[in-house]
Structure 1
Amino acid sequence: MKYFVVNRGDEVSQQLNERFHVLAKEYGMVLDEREPDTVLSIGGDGTMLQAFHRYKDQLDRLSFVGLHTGRLGFFADWFPEDLDYLAQVMGSETSPATIVEYPLVEIQIRTQEGTETHVALNEFTLKGVEETMVAQLNLNDETFEMFRGDGICISTPSGSTAYNKSLGGALVHPSIESIQIAEIASINNRVFRTLGSSMILPKHHHCDIFPQANKHLLLTLDHLNVQRNDVVSIRCSVATQKVRFARYRPYPFWNRVQKSFIGLDMK
């Protein structure tokens, strides 16, 4: 099997990275940065996001594995003390991984120059920079509301546990192919009115955001961000692509949620 490792860069992650290379060689794995079969992320969720965007053009052929050395590690199945066993099962021909697929959000940004398409693992956000953001929100080509506030967050099911959760959005199981729209500090009074609640759209629906022309906006795709003032509209929908994770042992989604956010021994 061909593999590559993306690590967080701290001392612990670097040491684990070096140790894994030694073990991988023992178990017959081949280091391949260009076209790996499996990408191991050693660090936190931010490290997994970096790995995802580094290989986003190869999602149909590779899978990801996460080893947690960060603070939360929602994408990680493994911990530092598991490293030797992880290398063993990854290199084993008799213990194949179970591949699970998670939905992504597709973002089509239209400008006067054309349309560019991106995907995000966790979320896409659109925020005003110098003033309140004003944008028309359409659902399935029908006008839904005129938004005024700090911004809008569009999350995937896996991203529903991230920024979306802090905005009061729902947690969505990744088996449900959907995207979620959550408002960021919307203005609601007797003059201006938005829904004031997050919305979950199925994979055959889409939303379009039409911001005021020539306004400076901050666009983020997961951990990446850029300021733009040329956006005409943004279409958000469930991507046709999916991200693949290699599971060598069961770790159900709701167990991850319980451990990450509750963390209590209920026995």
Structure 2
Amino acid sequence: MNFNVRSRGDHTSNVLTQQVKTYLEEFGLTYDEEEPEIVISIGGDGTLLEAFHQYSHRSDETSFVGVHTGHLGFYADWQPEEIEKLVIHIAKTPFKIVEYPLIEVVIRHTNEMETERYLALNECTVKSMEGSLVMDIEIKGDHFETFRGDGLCLSTPSGSTAYNKALNGAILHPSLASIQMAEMASINNRVYRTIGSPIVLPEHHTCLLKPKNDVDFQVTVDHLTLVQKKVKSIQVRVANEKIRFARFRPFPFWKRVKESFIAE
């Protein structure tokens, strides 16, 4: 089996990365940065997000497993002292595949620029580079509202515990293939009216954002920040692709939520 190891870059993560690489090669696995079947992420959720984007084109072939060397992460379920146990599992145990939904972000332009397509594991955010964001929002091809405010956050269920939660969005279980849209400081008056609450769209509903003015936009896709010019529309829907996690033991979602936000 081919594998790759991604490190956060700090001393502890780098040492563990070298240990995992050495151990797995001793078990006869092949280190392969181009076409790994499994990627071991050592760091935090940010490290796993970076690993996912490196191999998002291999969503059907590459699985991920995380080791956290800082605070408990939602995607990293192994601790540094369990490295040897994890290595033995990877080398000797057929693992279970757990798939989480992703969102597809398609950005179209008014000029000759090519259409851009991205996949997000956590969320996509849209903000204006000049003043308030003003967007017409269509759902399934019908006008839903005209938004005016600081910005919009469209998240996956697994990303609902990240930026979305800070915007008072709901926490959704990753088994629900859906998109959640949360507002950032919307302006409501006689001209602009928004729903004022986060909304959840099922996988067969497409959300289309259409700018009302010709300004530049800051679009984030997980950890990536993109400045977009001459935007015609931003289309967001549940992607056909999914991220694959290698599970060697139970990793209950609600237990992670409790440990991260409630447990002392």
* TM-score interval, normalised by the smaller of the two chains: over 0.9
Q: Provide the identity percentage.
A: 52
Say whether the 8 Å CA contact 1:45–1:70 is kept in structure 2: no
Alpha-carbon distance between aligned partners in 1 of 2:213 and 2:130, rounded to the nearest angstrom: 14
Residue 185 (structure 1) shift: 1.1
Alpha-carbon distance between aligned partners in 2 of 1:26 and 1:144, rounded to the nearest angstrom: 58
What are the ranges of 5 or more consecutive residues in structure 2 without an aligned counterpart? Answer: none
Deviation per CA, 1:95-154: give whole Å up to 9, x if none.
211100000000111113242211100000100122011000011110010000011111
Name the Cα RMSD after superposition: 1.1
Q: Are 1:73 and 2:73 matched, yes or no?
A: yes
TM-score, length of structure 2 as denominator length: 0.97
Alpha-carbon distance between aligned partners in 1 of 2:191 and 2:2, rounded to the nearest angstrom: 59
Say whether the 8 Å CA contact 1:2–1:30 is kept in structure 2: yes
What are the ranges of 5 or more consecutive residues in structure 1 without an aligned counterpart? Answer: none
- Closer/same/farther in 2, CA of residues 193 and 213 from structure 1, 3 Å limit: closer
Runs of at least 4 residues of structure 1 off by over 6 A? none
Residue 195 (structure 1) shift: 0.6
Say whether the 8 Å CA contact 1:152–1:183 is kept in structure 2: yes
Alpha-carbon distance between aligned partners in 1 of 2:198 and 2:78, rounded to the nearest angstrom: 32
TM-score, length of structure 1 as denominator length: 0.95
Say whether the 8 Å CA contact 1:43–1:73 is kept in structure 2: no
Which structure 2 residues correspond to residues 75-154 of structure 1 after superposition, within 5 A? 75-92=75-92, 95-112=93-110, 113=112, 114-154=114-154
Alpha-carbon distance between aligned partners in 2 of 1:262 and 1:126, rounded to the nearest angstrom: 30
Alpha-carbon distance between aligned partners in 1 of 2:195 and 2:108, rounded to the nearest angstrom: 25
Alpha-carbon distance between aligned partners in 1 of 2:72 and 2:135, rounded to the nearest angstrom: 34
Q: Are 1:157 and 2:157 matched, yes or no?
A: yes
Alpha-carbon distance between aligned partners in 1 of 2:72 and 2:199, rounded to the nearest angstrom: 26
Alpha-carbon distance between aligned partners in 2 of 1:86 and 1:178, rounded to the nearest angstrom: 31
Alpha-carbon distance between aligned partners in 2 of 1:133 and 1:109, rounded to the nearest angstrom: 16
Q: Are 1:204 and 2:204 matched, yes or no?
A: yes
Say whether the 8 Å CA contact 2:39–2:62 is kept in structure 1: yes
Deviation per CA, 1:11-44: give whole Å up to 9, x if none.
1100101111121122221101110000010001
Residue 191 (structure 1) shift: 4.1
Alpha-carbon distance between aligned partners in 2 of 1:100 and 1:251, rounded to the nearest angstrom: 10
Deviation per CA, 1:64-96: give whole Å up to 9, x if none.
00000133421011010110100010000xx21
Name 1:230's counterpart in structure 2.
230
Say whether the 8 Å CA contact 1:123–1:155 is kept in structure 2: yes
Alpha-carbon distance between aligned partners in 2 of 1:227 and 1:89, rounded to the nearest angstrom: 42
One-letter amino acid of the structure 1 residue matched with residue 157 of structure 2: P
Q: Are 1:217 and 2:217 matched, yes or no?
A: yes
